Amino acid sequence: MAAETAPYGRVTQHPSAVPEVHILWITAGLGCDGDSVSITAATQPSIEDVLLGAIPGLPKVHLHNPVLAYECGDDFLKYWYMAEEGQLEPFVLVVEGSIPNEKIKKEGYWAALGTDPTTNQPITTNEWIDRLAPKATAVIACGTCATYGGIHAMEGNPTGCMGLADYLGWNWSSKAGLPIVNVPGCPV
């Protein structure tokens, strides 16, 4: 809701319609993490202003980014598992880096984040996208690599990299009915 003018010219700010939102930012695609690093240089607003709640009307933002997090291991991944189980609502999935094609090789994997406790195997980037994208309120492809595949998508690359919309489908939409938000740039 927008701000309204109160008596005596004071502006009143309505609270956010959503009290808090979690951002699960995966950097396990093929990329340089430059988009994660670049948000630390933002000034209007700064990442600190967003995370500390200094922006009126903005919900409380919880950022879960492996490059910027102080948590590690299970403490970091618990939010990912909560989102997968439908216990983290709402959340936005941000994907940084090209999406490797895990279907074009016989063994191993191209990129992963964490270890699946039931199999003790790495959880590939593709698996996380498959698990979380359908449950996300919104999905954002952050940077040229995630948006269009970037340099990694050049012909001849053995990873078969692609952009997020190539992986999910260009007509894909989130559970809120939103298309993939593509934000190209190197870095954003």
Chain segment 125-175, per-residue pLDDT in tens: 999 999 999 999 999 999 999 999 999 999 999 999 999 999 999 999 999
How far is residue 141's CA from residue 126's CA, in Å, rounded to a whole number? 14
> What fold characterizes domain 20-183?
Rossmann fold (3.40.50)
Tens-digit pLDDT profile for residues 104-132: 988 889 999 999 989 999 999 999 999 99
Q: Which CA distances in Å does 105 have to 2, 64, 70, 130?
A: 52, 30, 34, 18
User: Which residue's structure tokens are 């701000």?
Assistant: 3
- Give me the sign of the Cα torsion angle 73, 78, 79, 80: positive
- 96: which DSSP letter? E
